[in-house]
Amino acid sequence: MKNRDDKQSTIERNSEKKSPDENRAPIDFIRAIIARDLKNNKNDSRVHTRFPPEPNGYLHIGHAKSICLNFGIAAENTGGLCNLRFDDTNPSKEDQEYIDSIFEDIRWLGFDWEDRLYYASDYFEKLYEFALQLINDGKAYVCDLSAEEIRQHRGTLTEPGKDSPYRNRTVEENLDLFQKMRAGEFPDGSRVLRAKIDMKSPNMNMRDPVLYRILRATHHRTGDAWCIYPMYDYTHPISDSLEGITHSICTLEFEDHRPLYDWSLDELDIFRSRQIEFARLNISYTVMSKRMLLKLVEEGLVSGWDDPRMPTISGLRRRGYTPQSIRTFCECIGVAKKDSMVDVALLEHSIRDDLNTGAPRVMAVLRPLRVVIENYPEDLVEEFEIANHPNDPTMGSRKVPFSRILYIEQDDFMEEPPKKFFRLGPGREVRLRNAYFITCRDVVKDANTGEITELRCTYDPATRGGDAPDGRKVKGTLHWVSAEHSIKAAVRLYDRLFTIPNPAAENNFKTYLNPESLVSLKECRIEPGLKEAAPGSRFQFERQGYFCVDMKDSSVDSPVFNRIVTLRDTWAKIEKKEPGEK
């Protein structure tokens, strides 16, 4: 049996409509391990995890998976805790800007580290003392080999390494040298402290790994107090141990490092945290490595870490994704050890699903086509009371003006419509959503370009509200705005960043950037009521998709909307399937 608390809270996490039993998310292998540990009273029945980002970039949705896992596990278990710890042992790559962004992103996702904020750099003094202890125990030595020489001594995947000539220095000499390293008596890169393990180990990580390097770089927290910095493999287990972390969850590539993780704790004889590895998140049509994301930012291929096309938390936030949708997504994808690539369609589903319930419906015309209702009085303006959500009356309604000159979507008219096209065409009748039936009587074109500039239509006054008293049906319903009353807006149509499912596997991933990942429209017309829309607020533009008021660039005078995700589009599918039908 699984641990009771664990099971109980798993039920709570998912308790929406269905009965708890059929709704219970399956327990992943990590939660199973924790449940077993709890049952065996391991760690005094404590569950303590940590999220350990390096502040060398912005968090992405892969980190969200880890955050949801670590903070989620803590929340599911009574008394469970999750620390936030910055793994800041490499000052040459790290920056306060990243730390601040990480705070913001974790909070925004809905998680709280309370008073448990830690920095590996806070342990520098203790780490140093532990290193002294290792030296005293004959488990570490100062090595004078250059980086290149160390590499040569390390051997290869198939050949064992050779011992360093400095491997057998006396404890006294090592102590003296290491203290001098700290005191700044040697130049950068001239010496390192190494663990004395086994140069013949088939695991490269055990071939006397470097524990400390000399590096004169100003640390964002400790300043110039140190000129030697500990390595990840040495710092991480000790930090976990010091904080009493029971389950140290990380990604698969650290599997080979676990023997070293365990070695450190064993040799130092301190609290034994357990490292567990899971498969990192990959999503199709994007890249997920900080290295590649940094490249996109540095080379100006995106507007920044928070470009709405980026898979970063800040990018998704600006795009309009809700924290809930990301948490749901992370729960849906599961946790396992198999390398995998999640279909981006699942991410899109999670935000559609969330916004379908909560986002008010409005009308916006992205590519306006002028429509004149010839039999509608010149100076009449009607106001239609329109529901904000067709299936949820509690969301209220709003007034939308209607007049003789309107805009509809260019895509909603075809001069020679194919069979399955239900929208407007010459002589055809359609419904204007929540307004009238109109019939297209004439098409006006630019004499020079042949471009359609205006549609002349008539309306049926008896169809006010959108129903015909004589019972006649129309197949199509179009959205619209009143030309005079609508507001001009800019809309950014975002699409997937890359054209191929796995750009990271290519030699030059930038070759596959999607040139249409951003289409900027500047002449869109939106309902007048949208003027007051707050930055960050989300709407469904009917028949088109979900949109979000941009948090940086939008203003009352010139509103800017980001497309979060399109609606499922059956017509687009038909078009794609039968392109000749046009």
Partner RNA sequence: UGGGAUGUCGUCUAACGGCAGGACACGAGAAUUUGGAUCUCGUUAUGGUGGUUCGAAUCCACCCGUCCCAGCCA
C-alpha to C-alpha distance for 457 and 405, rounded to whole angstroms:
10
Identified binder of RNA from the candidate list 79, 184, 189, 377, rule CB under 7 A? 189
Binder of RNA out of 542, 547, 561, 565 (CB under 7 A): 542
272/265 Cα distance (integer angstroms): 6
Site residues (CB under 7 A) for RNA, limited to 476-515 = 476-477
Judged by CB under 7 A, the residue of 543, 559, 561, 562 near RNA is 543
Question: Active-site residues: which are they?
Answer: 54, 280, 290
Q: Which of 107, 552, 573, 582 binds RNA (CB under 7 A)?
A: 573
Q: Which 19-38 residues touch RNA, going by CB under 7 A? A: 26-29, 32
Residue type, 149: E
Q: Measured from the CB of residue 291, what is the shortest distance to RNA in angstroms?
A: 8
Give me the least distance between CB of 445 and RNA, in Å please.
Answer: 22
- Does residue 381 interact with RNA by CB under 7 A? no
Nearer to RNA, 192 or 307 (CB): 192
**Nearest CB to RNA, comparing residues 337 and 485:** 337
Rounded least distance, CB 103 to RNA, Å: 17
CB nearer RNA, residue 332 or residue 519:
332
Decide: is 154 part of the binding site for RNA (CB under 7 A).
yes
Considering the complex, state which of residue 111 and residue 541 has its C-beta at the smaller distance from RNA.
541
Please, what is the minimum distance in Å from the beta carbon of residue 305 to RNA? 17
3-state secondary structure 49-116: EEECCCCCCCCEHHHHHHHHHHHHHHHHCCCCEEEEEECCCCCCCCCHHHHHHHHHHHHHHCCCCCCC
- Footprint on residues 133-152 left by RNA (CB under 7 A): 145-147, 150-151
**Closest distance between RNA and the C-beta of residue 472, in Å?**
12
The sign of the torsion formed by the CA atoms of 95, 101, 107, 109 equals negative
* From candidates 74, 231, 373, 408, binder to RNA by CB under 7 A: 231
Interface with RNA, residue 577, by CB under 7 A: yes
Candidate list 404, 423, 428, 525; residue touching RNA; CB under 7 A: 423
C-alpha distance from residue 415 to each of 164, 170, 336, 421, 572 (Å): 81, 90, 53, 11, 18
Among residue numbers 236 through 265, which ones bind RNA (CB under 7 A)? 252-257
- Consecutive H or E run containing 531: none
Site for RNA in 36-65 (CB under 7 A): 52, 54
Binding residues for RNA restricted to 304-363, rule: CB under 7 A: 332-343, 345-346, 348-349, 352-353, 356, 361
Complex with RNA: residue 196 or 361, whichever CB lies closer: 361
Give Cβ neighbours of residue 3 (< 8 Å, ≥ 6 apart). 34, 35, 38, 39, 77
Q: Considering only CA atoms, which of 418, 419, 461, 465 is closest in space to residue 439?
A: 461
Query: Which residues have a Cβ under 8 Å from the Cβ of 349 and sit 6 or more positions away?
Result: none
Binding segment toward RNA, per CB under 7 A, in 96-104, 266-274, 519-527, 571-579: 571-579
Site for RNA in 77-116 (CB under 7 A): 87, 89-90, 93
Complex with RNA: residue 446 or 506, whichever CB lies closer: 506
CB 191, min distance to RNA, A? 7
Dihedral-angle region of residue 433 (phi above 0 means left; psi in -120 to 50 means alpha; beta otherwise):
beta
Residue 156 in contact with RNA, rule: CB under 7 A = yes
Q: What is d(CA 213, CA 119) in angstroms, rounded to the nearest whole number?
A: 19
Site for RNA in 392-421 (CB under 7 A): 420-421
444 binds RNA, rule: CB under 7 A: no
Q: Where are the beta strands (DSSP E) in 433-499?
A: 437-445, 452-460, 477-478, 481-482, 487-494
Q: At what angle do helices 171-183 and 124-136 cross, to 10 degrees?
A: 160
Total of chain residues touching RNA, rule CB under 7 A: 92
Per CB under 7 A, 232 contacts RNA? yes
Nearest CA to 405 among 481, 490, 336? 481
Q: Does residue 6 touch RNA according to CB under 7 A?
A: no
Structural contact between residues 340 and 365, judged by C-beta atoms closer than 8 angstroms: no
Structure tokens, 35: 């449940």
Stretch that binds RNA, among 156-164, 169-177, 448-456, 557-565 (CB under 7 A): 156-164
Among 37, 76, 105, 233, binds RNA (CB under 7 A): 233
Q: State whether residue 274 is helix, strand or coil.
A: strand
Element (H, E) at 539: strand 538-541
Among 215, 292, 443, 521, binds RNA (CB under 7 A): 215
Cα Rg of the chain, angstroms: 31
